[in-house]
Amino acid sequence: MTEMNENCVIKIENLSKEYRLGAIGSGTLRHDLQSWYAKKRGKEDPNQRIGAMQYTKGDSFLALDGVNLEVNRGERIGIIGANGAGKSTLLKILSRITSPTEGRVRFKGRIASMLEVGTGFHAELTGRENIYLNGAILGMSRDEVTSKIDSIIEFSECEKFIDTPVKRYSSGMFVKLAFSVAAHLDAEIMIMDEVLAVGDMRFQKKCIKKMRDLATEEDRTVLYVSHNMNTIRDLCDRCIVLDHGKIVFDGDVEEAIKIYLGSANENFRALEYVGNEHKYHCDRNDLCLRFVRYTAKEDNIFYDDEPVLLELTWENKADIKNLCLRVEVSDYRRYPVTAFVVENFYSGKKGETYTANLKIDVSKIVRGGYYTRYVFYSRKNAAAPFETLEVADGLTFRRRKPDKYQNTWQKAWGSIEMNDIEVV
């Protein structure tokens, strides 16, 4: 395995986390024994829910799917993504609350994680006592807390109430106190899950400034998950977009936010092209794409060997002969992956609106999310050069595929799965 760089503080290699779908056991020993005994006699499981047959062993859900990431000292990384994209699972693994199914993580120094505001705060204890308790839970020693308690209390703006049980605190004070403790940790890496969302704007600003200062002046590394794009903008200098357990973007904050906000609309299984025809330059604007959709699909996820059934509707602006179509596929970084071509599949008159149904075999494409682009072109005769008639950004699609090398890196190299090597 490769060594960690001098500057690298977190190195995540091929990290996956699998959750089993359906109920895990039945919760009571009696039912599990009953099921086990029934199975042993070859009978039907009496506790199996009708219609739950698909939740058999092996049916699983990948909350994280082969994540690779290197984080350098002093970076402030934002992690964004839709609900269920795997953000919290990633943070939970980094915080050692749960362990990964595959892959490994190495980090240098201490990780202080704040997945919730005021974890371990005890209502009956006073603010001061809770600072000690919370500090210890987060990994500080008693002496460390003692040496910092004044600045913690000052930062929290709760001086007056510090010897009152926290059950009498307002929720805002509670948050302020809790955040102050975390902000004063001596950890090299700080992980936070949407904790600044609470508390008033002024305090939020103060916290973000504190985090930024910690990162720039003391070389702390910050990982911050949020749905609030403004705090991400304020705090982070690098941003990761997660989607269905995979990193779909890693880099500039603005670009990441654009991709995340855009992807909310990109999951549709149909696109209508109104008013944005000929966005890209074409040799001849003879054809206008109007509408595209996946037929017989509720989403844009294609499993196993399932073909993409594509329905394209366009309008001829001129007579068209020997129309060809190229469907270009690129990955989340917009790197080209492959292209599908159909030649001379249509000829038509001017003014006609036509709907074509195409079937594309994407079974060789590995798991992940992909962009497509449709390029319509034709040529006057076999010797003539191609002329593009219409170029349009197409529907995105996602691939889910339990291949035989699932969860291993052997075949997740690149985007195309080739046949196995034959020994001759």
Q: How far is the CB of 2 from other proteins (least distance, A)?
A: 13
- 105 near other proteins, judged by CB under 8 A: yes
Q: Considering CB under 8 A, how many residues would be counted as binding other proteins?
A: 51
- 98/170 with CB nearer other proteins: 98
Name the segment binding other proteins (CB under 8 A); options: 93-101, 172-180, 233-241, 275-283. 93-101
- x/- mask, other proteins, residues 259-298, rule CB under 8 A, reads ----------------------------------------
Question: Given candidates 5, 7, 19, 216, which one binds other proteins under the rule CB under 8 A?
Answer: 19
Residues near 228 by beta carbon (within 8 Å), at least 6 away in sequence: 194, 196, 197
- 168 near other proteins, judged by CB under 8 A: no
Q: How far is the CB of 219 from other proteins (least distance, A)?
A: 8
**How many residues are present in the chain?**
424
Question: Given candidates 69, 76, 81, 102, which one binds other proteins under the rule CB under 8 A?
Answer: 102
Residues near 173 by beta carbon (within 8 Å), at least 6 away in sequence: 156, 157, 158, 161
Q: Which two tokens stand for residue 79?
A: 């992690």
- Secondary element (H or E) of residue 229: helix 229-235
Q: Which residue has the tokens 């008639």?
A: 389
Question: Given candidates 27, 58, 275, 385, which one binds other proteins under the rule CB under 8 A?
Answer: 27
Name the segment binding other proteins (CB under 8 A); options: 24-32, 150-158, 173-181, 354-362. 24-32
Q: How far is the CB of 400 from other proteins (least distance, A)?
A: 21
Query: Distance (Å, rounded) from C-alpha 251 to C-alpha 258?
Result: 12
Question: Which 175-204 residues touch other proteins, going by CB under 8 A?
Answer: 186, 188
| Contact status, residue 375 vs residue 400, Cβ threshold 8 Å | no
Q: Which residue has the tokens 């962009």?
A: 371
Nearest C-alpha neighbor of 194 from the set 97, 94, 81, 69: 81
Distances (CA, A) of 261 to 41, 235, 306: 54, 18, 28
User: In 249-331, which residue ranges form alpha helices assigned H by DSSP?
Assistant: 253-266
Q: List interacting residues with other proteins (CB under 8 A).
A: 4, 19, 24-25, 27-30, 32, 92-111, 113, 115-116, 119-120, 122, 124-125, 129, 132-133, 136-142, 186, 188, 218-219
